[in-house]
Structure 1
């Protein structure tokens, strides 16, 4: 696939870049993408949820009524789950939700996501740019010039502090680097803006 390189004003620079079919032209593997997204979301969970069971609730253990003759069910403690303020049955406990995936599977998932975006014409190549200082207004002007109004993922070849800070306050914008791309970010966007130099980095990382 061959794409034209645009400048920050949305104009064609006259240069073209050929995207590798090994990274941007494969048949997407939906199950690999599902597993990678599932792992990403699971790893975001803190897992610090906790509720008290009956042995952890503060209160008296005195038997609240006699065993027989009341016409009701037996009750040994106010800390039982059926009473207000009692412990919870099988409540959540702190746990680690993260799990591991094979590196090759994660690479296949990212390749699948990139191929899916390229197939749907959601990839735009952008000429390298930078800001002298963080300027959110200038960042918005670039998006307007490129007619990118929905969720946008800007992929830089390396961290550029001023560019990152410029896009940080925009709700529908995510700024990432080529080496930190993940499947969730790629699938959770409507358009990917690839800075020209980031293409080689992505292809070298994934085609190996």
Structure 2
């Protein structure tokens, strides 16, 4: 599929970019997308939640009152879960939330996500660009020229670019990353995907393997 290549001002350069059918025109597999997004979100969890149980509480081991004659229930330790400051029963423990996913499934998921965005006509190709200095104003002007200033946008570069990244950092609804950092979740989560020409080459070379 051919799409027009735009410049940084949103004007047609007269050149066309060919979106490979092997990446942008496959039969989408929504279950693969689900599995990849599920894995990505699970990997965002630190899993360091922890509550102290009674064996981990620092406190006296003295029996706090005599066994009989008080008219109340028996109690042998101030660290008991029934007392304030005592241990917690079945409290949360550190857990590893990472999930394993076959690399072929991950590749299929990314291609499926890109195919769906292509069908929605939510993919724009621009020529490689740079800013002289990090300025949010320049990046907002770039988004406005593409007509996506009010959308959640994903800008994919071929290589890391500090000026472009810093220019976008203050914008909540826009994110910049490189083609090697592209994930299924980032694609699905974006309303509009903007690819530079070098990023397009990198994505196709990575996903055609």
**TM-score w.r.t. length of structure 2:** 0.92
Q: Count the aligned residue pairs.
A: 208
Q: Does 1:84 align with 2:57?
A: no
> For residues 66 and 189 of structure 1, what CA distance do their matches in structure 2 show?
66
> For residues 28 and 90 of structure 1, what CA distance do their matches in structure 2 show?
43
> For residues 70 and 35 of structure 2, what CA distance do their matches in structure 1 show?
56
Residue 208 (structure 2) aligns with: 207
> For residues 45 and 106 of structure 1, what CA distance do their matches in structure 2 show?
19
- Please list the CA deviations of residues 25-75 of structure 1 after superposition, one character each: whole Å capped at 9, or x if unmatched: 122222211221222222222222211000111222233344455554433
Structure 1 pair 72–120 and aligned structure 2 pair: CA distance change class (3 A): farther
**1:174 CA displacement:** 0.7
**1:160 CA displacement:** 1.4
Residue 165 (structure 1) aligns with: 166
Which deviates more, 31-40 or 119-128? 31-40
Q: Does 1:144 align with 2:144?
A: yes
Residue 19 (structure 1) aligns with: 19
Which deviates more, 112-121 or 73-82? 73-82
**TM-score w.r.t. length of structure 1:** 0.92
- Please list the CA deviations of residues 70-119 of structure 1 after superposition, one character each: whole Å capped at 9, or x if unmatched: 55443322211122111111112223222222111111111111111111
> For residues 206 and 98 of structure 1, what CA distance do their matches in structure 2 show?
23
Q: The residue matched to 1:55 in structure 2 has which SS?
A: helix
Residue 64 (structure 1) aligns with: 64
- 4+ runs of 1 displaced by more than 4 Å? 68-72
Residue 126 (structure 1) aligns with: 126
> For residues 107 and 70 of structure 2, what CA distance do their matches in structure 1 show?
67
Unaligned runs of 5+ residues in structure 1 are none
CA RMSD of aligned residues (A): 1.6
